[in-house]
A and B are shown apart, each in its own frame.
Chain A
């Protein structure tokens, strides 16, 4: 009952809080601030579901380095776990991928996907121009981006993915480096609101 007396003294100050809460009086308040940055999706090397699919980690760098190898005409998909969100605000997806090839002038086609629990795919956006890669012994960073057409509607079992597909024939191979920190960072996708 003493607590009630205490609260009555400050009831005027916190009246709105009391009424809204239906509890006995507010006893004090403290404040803080946090800045939330848009998520970063890191390409992970660990293959899932038969080798086509690989991890796309939310705000987390892959714990191991891996070089992903694939032939022209084939594709690799990096996908998140279920995001458990209902939507994504309109975004620009900007990928930075460390890759190399054995044939200069090779091209990769990239697009961002929405996947359901059965890996049925919908395109979020497609990079307009193929990404040209020069044959080098070292991995080089390629960046490309595209914009979602408005808000991305998702269900709790939806994932976001990045598909990379070689445009040539099978004599050309590609390598993608994941989980390795280069001077310009990891292979990743950065998100910015439109």
Chain B
């Protein structure tokens, strides 16, 4: 009985510890991050023309995503003497954030520069251009553009700055305040369509288009990026697969009604801050079959036994499918052309059916020697047809 009670008691204690732990975690997660100003700005008095050393630290909750955002310090100077307010050029600031690591045993210093020009543009490598339209006299913004403002101002990090004063600075008491700002995320995602030479080729209706793009953004994408062809039939949208490592695959079988021409294919991405980026390539649509010209024989030529059939077949866009050029001879009987039906030779109504014409690479022409020995005398109709590499057909009759 005692053993059972002890186990129950132990369980209650463990449960309470777990509960307190969970509550503590939840509490921290929901904490709104109010800064506790526990030190104020420690700064020494100076003679004008001298440089004062100042430092402060904030203690605040950084639980709620602040590690994802760089910070900008705003330092304000005001004079106690209203007849001599602070002007631009009265002070020069610079400094660094000393970031403690591993329980404060180590630290790294992140330098920052301070500017008071107005308007002030901060070109942050992660968040793009942030502009302050009006910087009042006595106000400085301090940041590190290349390392992400002043990086993540963590709790217990110390901020040190040097305040160089102008020799003509009016003697008196000056109040200093330091605030922390976030930057707006003004930088659109980065989109790079990989292997753009893929679009050097022509596509046709029914063609499968499959390409990859690298799409990245520091703060993340709001959704998968999209790809769209804009042509006279409107938008043709692609499906997208997230392949990981910022690589997205875009797939689409082109619709049967996609018109011939060069059309913009746009990859578009939007980040979680609403910044949108586009990257374009041109997709070339070819729906025209080859051009066929009969070089021999001439029209209405009387032939017997063997005659030479020579075709010049060209296709300026996707090119001729050299293995898919054909001719057909069909007898004309009583004014009607013998149809291409059945197989083999039909002596009463002759039709050769479609016969492939080989490509002569030395002449660049298509040539066949046709044996008409078994053909009865009469009129024959010569057909020819050719496909381009995309399957677009051209027929000549």
Interfacial residues, chain A to chain B (CB-CB below 8 A): 1-3, 5-7, 9-10, 14, 17, 20-40, 58-59, 83-89, 154, 192-193
B133 and A22 contacting across the interface, CB-CB below 8 Å: yes
A30 and B40 contacting across the interface, CB-CB below 8 Å: yes
How distant is the Cα of A36 from the Cα of B163 in the complex, in angstroms? Answer: 11
CB of B155 to closest CB in A, whole Å? 11
B182 and A36 contacting across the interface, CB-CB below 8 Å: no
B41 and A58 contacting across the interface, CB-CB below 8 Å: no
B84 and A32 contacting across the interface, CB-CB below 8 Å: no
How distant is the Cα of A34 from the Cα of B58 in the complex, in angstroms? Answer: 19
| Residue B35 lies at the interface, judged by CB distance under 8 Å to chain A | yes
* Contact sample, A vs B, 30 pairs, CB 8 Å cutoff: A1-B273, A3-B66, A3-B69, A6-B32, A22-B133, A22-B184, A23-B184, A24-B69, A26-B179, A26-B181, A27-B35, A27-B66, A28-B179, A30-B37, A31-B178, A32-B42, A32-B54, A32-B175, A36-B170, A36-B173, A37-B46, A37-B171, A38-B171, A39-B50, A58-B167, A84-B166, A85-B89, A85-B168, A192-B171, A193-B171
Whether A31 touches B66, Cβ cut-off 8 Å, given contacts A38-B47, A193-B170, is: no
Residues of A within 8 A of B219 (CB): 1
| Residue B202 lies at the interface, judged by CB distance under 8 Å to chain A | no
A28 and B35 contacting across the interface, CB-CB below 8 Å: yes
Whether A35 touches B173, Cβ cut-off 8 Å, given contacts A24-B183, A28-B34, is: yes
Interface flags for B116-141 (1: CB within 8 Å of A; 0: not) read 00000000000000111110100001
Interface centre among B34, B141, B182, B183 (most CB of A within 10 A): B182
B179 and A3 contacting across the interface, CB-CB below 8 Å: no
CB of B160 to closest CB in A, whole Å? 13
Residues of B within 8 A of A59 (CB): 46-50, 167
B171 and A21 contacting across the interface, CB-CB below 8 Å: no
Give 8 new A-B contacts, CB below 8 A, not counting A24-B183, A30-B56, A36-B173: A3-B64, A5-B64, A23-B181, A32-B178, A39-B47, A58-B167, A85-B167, A89-B168
| Residue B344 lies at the interface, judged by CB distance under 8 Å to chain A | no
Please pick, from B40, B44, B49, B74, the residue contacting A39 in the complex, using a CB distance under 8 A.
B49
Whether A36 touches B47, Cβ cut-off 8 Å, given contacts A27-B181, A31-B176, is: yes
Interface centre among A2, A22, A58, A89 (most CB of B within 10 A): A22
